[in-house]
Amino acid sequence: MTYESVNNKIIISYANGTGNNDMNIKSGTVSGSSISFGSAVQYSTDNNTRPFGTSDSNLGKVIFITQRNNSSSNQPTNGGAAYVFSQSTITTNLTDQNYLGIAAEAISNGETGKINIAGGINEGQSSLTVGRKHYVQPNGDISTVINYPSVFAGTSVSTTKVIVKG
């Protein structure tokens, strides 16, 4: 199991228990204290075991390395195998140069509203980690997690307030 930070998912890889130990992968979404998983995707039928995963936090890809326990026409007996998993990622045009600030209130698409710019205090947040730097995430949320692209949003002064780029 590994955490994939670009899409904010828990990714697990496991042998599905068939005679061939076919390998499956599932993507999970954390909400509160529970995780909901999508459907399993089979990614190997080569009798692999002991998957180990790691994530590339810049690209949103997970690499699983497994032990292969059989021989096939093109693979050695008891060798290893590596698989790259990538879900659809969020595309964004966000850069440090085009980040203006944080909306002062919820704004619907196509509507106008106030933006708290550099030096201003945004009071519309919740569950911030006090005294920490927060970064804009690809989906527009802010978090203490540095993501790609890395855009500094501001520093929290309470659980609901952040000094924009301050």
Whether 93 is covered by a domain: the verdict is no
Encode pLDDT of 5-45 as tens digits: 777 788 888 877 766 667 788 888 888 888 888 888 877 76
Residues 68, 6 share a domain:
yes
Average pLDDT, the chain: 81
Mean pLDDT over residues 60-80, rounded? 66
Per-residue tokens: 98: 């085009």
Q: Which domain holds residue 111?
A: 101-164
Verdict on whether the full-model pTM lies above 0.85: no
Residues 55, 15 share a domain:
yes
Of the residues 56, 86, 116, which one is the last residue of a structural domain? 86
Of the residues 25, 52, 86, which one is the last residue of a structural domain? 86
Residues 107, 78 share a domain:
no
Judged against a pLDDT cut of 90, whether residue 119 lies above it is answered with yes
CA angle 142, 143, 147 (to 5 degrees): 95
Of the residues 54, 86, 118, which one is the last residue of a structural domain? 86
Distance, CA of 1 to CA of 27 (rounded, Å): 10
| Counted domains in the chain | 2
Percent of the chain predicted with pLDDT > 70: 83
Whether 96 is covered by a domain: the verdict is no
Residue burial 5-28, b: 16+ Cβ < 10 Å; e: rest: bbbbbebbbebeeeeebbbbbbbb
Residues 106, 35 share a domain:
no
